[in-house]
């Protein structure tokens, strides 16, 4: 795989192990600026492990990771917290602090990185982000437990966008949502990605999401990236898991929705 000058994530020769268990070995992957890259793979293929390695939550055993032109494994870069300010992360189910209100959750990264801002301005910025993801003003004063699953996802997305990141990581953003809620979230994501110029690293098992929002798809398996490219190419890749996933009953049902969702007006 040749290096692209437009890559905002560059992973080379990555190895991740848990004791004797090899999760990744010699893994290479790139995310291009301004694209949505979907990451799929079977259970145990290490999708979340890969994301955690890229964002610095789990140091790999070997390999190189470059994020936004910086060596993500360098102690100097980690200590400077520069990457923390330039990326946003939405974990599964939003991963909100249960004892804080929704607006207080969104304020957390703002307080951590910009403590000089007044409390009033910090709250105003947080409420602006909540409006950006389609949450009503009264949702900000509720606890996460008082929100529906879809609203918690949107609140988590608002927190991920709090620092105006260039790069967004999403881990199973539509998991647990009903089809209508998932489609609404897909439309919101595509609209925000286009309007904010985001580059998006998206872990999902949802075929509808892949067809709706992803520019390219990477398939993890056997400790590496088996194939990466547009869905039309990836779905034709000759591998048992890929055939079962894309050409099985669920994959065939998703195919009519290959046209991307329209942006939210």
Point out the least confidently predicted range of 71-80, 116-125, 212-221, 234-243: 71-80
Determine if the pTM surpasses 0.75: yes
Query: Residue 2 has what pLDDT?
Result: 53
Query: Residue 249 has what pLDDT?
Result: 61
DSSP 69: T
d(CA 40, CA 153): 20
Kindly state the average pLDDT of the residues 216-231. 96
Per residue in 11-53, pLDDT tens? 999 999 998 899 999 999 999 999 999 999 998 899 999 999 9
Structure tokens at 141: 């004063």
Query: Residue 78 has what pLDDT?
Result: 81
Contact 257, 182 (CB under 8 A): no
Contact 73, 29 (CB under 8 A): no
The helix/strand/coil state of 21 is: strand
Residue 124 within a domain: yes
Residue 141 within a domain: yes
> Which residues are CB-contacts of 135 (< 8 A; sequence separation ≥ 6)?
102, 151, 154, 155, 158
Binned at pLDDT 50, 70 and 90, residue 103 comes out as very high
Residue 118 within a domain: yes
pLDDT at 251 over 90: no
d(CA 214, CA 211): 6
Residue 146 within a domain: yes
Binned at pLDDT 50, 70 and 90, residue 261 comes out as very low
Residue 172 within a domain: no
Q: Which residue has the tokens 């140091």?
A: 59
Per residue in 136-185, pLDDT tens? 989 999 999 999 989 999 999 999 999 999 999 999 999 989 999 999 99
For residue 121, the cross-strand partners are none
Residue 7 within a domain: no
Residue 84 within a domain: no
Domain that holds residue 103: 96-165
Residue 194 within a domain: no
pLDDT at 255 over 70: no
- Number of domains observed in the structure of the chain: 1
d(CA 50, CA 27): 9
Query: Residue 257 has what pLDDT?
Result: 45
The per-residue pLDDT of the chain, averaged, comes to: 91
pLDDT at 6 over 50: yes
Query: Residue 80 has what pLDDT?
Result: 78
Query: Residue 252 has what pLDDT?
Result: 53
């Amino acid at each position: 795989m040749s290096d692209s000058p437009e890559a905002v994530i560059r992973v080379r020769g990555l190895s991740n192990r848990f004791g004797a268990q090899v999760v990744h070995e010699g893994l290479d992957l790139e995310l291009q600026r301004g694209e949505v890259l979907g990451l799929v793979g079977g259970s145990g293929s290490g999708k979340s492990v890969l994301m955690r390695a890229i964002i610095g939550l789990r140091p790999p055993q070997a390999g190189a990771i470059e994020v936004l032109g910086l060596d993500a494994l360098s102690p100097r870069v980690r200590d400077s917290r520069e990457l923390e300010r330039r990326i946003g992360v939405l974990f599964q189910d939003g991963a909100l602090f249960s004892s804080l209100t929704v607006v207080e959750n969104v304020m957390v990264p703002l307080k951590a990185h910009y403590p000089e801002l007044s409390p009033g301005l910090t709250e105003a910025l947080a409420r602006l982000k909540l409006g950006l993801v389609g949450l009503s003003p009264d949702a900000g004063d509720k606890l996460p437990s008082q929100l529906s699953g879809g609203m918690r996802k949107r609140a988590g997305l608002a927190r991920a966008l709090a620092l105006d990141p260039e790069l967004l990581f999403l881990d199973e953003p539509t998991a647990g949502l009903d089809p209508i809620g998932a489609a609404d979230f897909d439309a919101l994501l595509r609209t925000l990605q286009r309007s904010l110029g985001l580059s998006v690293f998206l872990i999902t098992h949802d075929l509808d999401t892949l067809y709706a929002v992803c520019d390219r798809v990477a398939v993890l398996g056997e400790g590496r990236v088996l194939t990466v490219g547009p869905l039309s190419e990836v779905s034709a890749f000759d591998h048992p898991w890929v055939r079962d996933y894309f050409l099985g009953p669920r994959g065939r049902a998703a195919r009519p929705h290959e046209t991307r969702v329209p942006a939210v007006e």
